[in-house]
Amino acid sequence: MASTLGSAQLLSILLFLILQFVSGFIINEDKYKRQVFLELNPGLNSSITPPPGVSLLHVRAVGANDTLHYFFCSLGAPALLLVHTNSSSSSVKVDWLRFLSGNASSLQVEPKSSVQYSNALIFTRLWEYEDANDTADPQHLPPSSFFPPYELQDFTWGDLSETMNATSKTAKLCGGDSGPSFSNGSFCLQISAFGSGGRDHDWPRLLHNANSSQIKVWLDGVTARSNKSRFSLELQTVGRSDLPSRVDVLRSIDDEYTPSIFQVVQWVASPVNSTSPVLGYTQWKPVAYRTASPNGYQTSGLNVTFGISGDPFYSATNYLSWTLLVGLGSPPADSFSPMVMGIIAVGLGTPLLLILVGGICVCVRKREAKPLAYEPIN
């Protein structure tokens, strides 16, 4: 009897350890928090009026001893600039006259000595190509398959002040050109800033943390120039020359957040010697698109191609969207989702529970059996 109880205890300890292990995965979220402030056109006063469609959004994500500054701007091609400082009181100074004339050094984060890392992501061109053979592989198409690209710096952009939402910490920038394709359509970018870790509500439900912000890009209602049109977006990154960027394609986890998506692509900036940590990144899941760049490619420009072979062409829905995460430090990596962990827990736990219950039953039956043997006969 003692040995039965002992194994039951052992099993309950095992079960407890498994539950600990499972909850460890579930609770294994980044606890770092930041206070997020949105500000439009910092330092602009009535003496200067920017031209229509030009605005600068400044997001300040203040941590305990550091600040992440994001600048989202529609002067020229849309761009997201990330600046990390080691001070929680760093501020921004914009020389508006020079800024509006396109001089990048007109935007300063002060004190200058506090700046630890900076990187810019620029959305330069939207390419459209006729994918006649449905290969979704623009790298191997003849130049004649490409339509003239849409230069995003020539687009007319909406006003960020109308779309900025300080509650949800988002702002949306939509634009188009005067050509017939965009007469009923638009190309939009929405930035979301985060003060803590979590996962986006919208598919592909990228994981984020307090050190990242998210950009969703979509192309809605644009008239395609062929019946078999696909699009790709050209991005440029500008950073320190000693921090070359490269594209890594990682295996990810197939869970309920992004079923059947096994890859995460990240465009990282890290010092030449790869043993050093990654300083910043742009990350996305290849959901219905592919990158033209191979793994490990060192680059400062990149075409992201939407659609895979066999996918409907753009004209099927006249809509496509894409989400990417921009941030500091190492990109967030998916761990098993609570649902998957739950399944594992049930899968592992149930047999153990059955053994445990079985053990108790045996124990109880033995107990019941013993008094019977000594029952006095009346």
Ligand X SMILES: *[C@@H]1O[C@H](CO)[C@@H](O)[C@H](O)[C@H]1NC(C)=O
Is the preceding omega at residue 143 within 30 degrees of 0, hence cis? no
Pick the piece of the chain touching ligand X (CB under 6 A) from 11-19, 21-29, 98-106, 352-360. 98-106
| One residue of 3, 65, 241, 378 binding ligand X per CB under 6 A | 65
Q: How far is the CB of 209 from ligand X (least distance, A)?
A: 4
The counts of H helices and E strands in the chain are: 4, 21
Edge-to-edge strand ranges of the sheet holding 170-176: 156-157, 170-176, 186-193, 212-220, 319-328, 280-284, 263-269, 245-251
Output the smallest distance, CB 255 to ligand X, in A: 20
Residue 274 binding ligand X, by CB under 6 A: no
DSSP 182: G
Residue list 253-272, contact with ligand X (CB under 6 A): 271-272
List binders of ligand X among 107-126 (CB under 6 A): 113-114, 116
DSSP secondary structure code for residue 146 in this structure: B
Contact 127, 231 (CB under 8 A): yes
Residue of 4, 12, 153, 226 that binds ligand X (CB under 6 A): 226
Closest approach, Cβ 225 to ligand X, in A, equals 7
For residue 104, give the nearest of 73, 136, 127, 134 by alpha carbon: 73
Residue 329 CB, nearest approach to ligand X (Å) = 4
Closer of 11 and 92 to ligand X (Cβ): 92
Give the three-state DSSP class for 32: coil
Alpha helices (runs of H) in 110-173, residue ranges in sequence order: 160-163
Handedness of CA 37, 40, 46, 48 (dihedral sign): positive
On whether the CB atoms of residues 61 and 195 are closer than 8 A, the answer is yes
Residue 43 or 50 with smaller CB distance to ligand X: 43
> What residue type is 227 in one-letter code?
N
For position 303 contacting ligand X by CB under 6 A, the verdict is yes
Residue with tokens 């990109």: 331
**Residue reference for tokens 């007109």:** 106
DSSP 181: G
Q: How far is the CB of 107 from ligand X (least distance, A)?
A: 11
C-alpha separations of 195 from 33, 67, 260 in Å? 6, 11, 29
* Beta partners for residue 172, in sequence order: 190
Distance CA 352, CA 346 (A): 10
Our CB check for ligand X shows the closer of 95 and 254 to be: 95
Read off the tokens for 209: 């943390």
d(CA 275, CA 334): 22
Interaction mask 1-40, ligand X, x per CB under 6 A: -----------------------------x-x--------
Positions in 235-254 near ligand X (CB under 6 A): none
158 near ligand X, judged by CB under 6 A = no
176 lies in the binding site for ligand X (CB under 6 A): no
List the one residue from 46, 178, 241, 378 that touches ligand X (CB under 6 A). Answer: 46
Q: Which is nearer to ligand X, 332 or 359 (CB)?
A: 332
CB-wise, 179 or 351, nearer to ligand X? 179
Residues that bind ligand X (CB under 6 A): 30, 32, 43, 45-47, 63-66, 86-87, 98, 103, 105, 113-114, 116, 127, 132-133, 138, 141-142, 145-146, 165, 167-168, 180, 183-184, 209-211, 223, 226-227, 234, 271-273, 301-303, 329
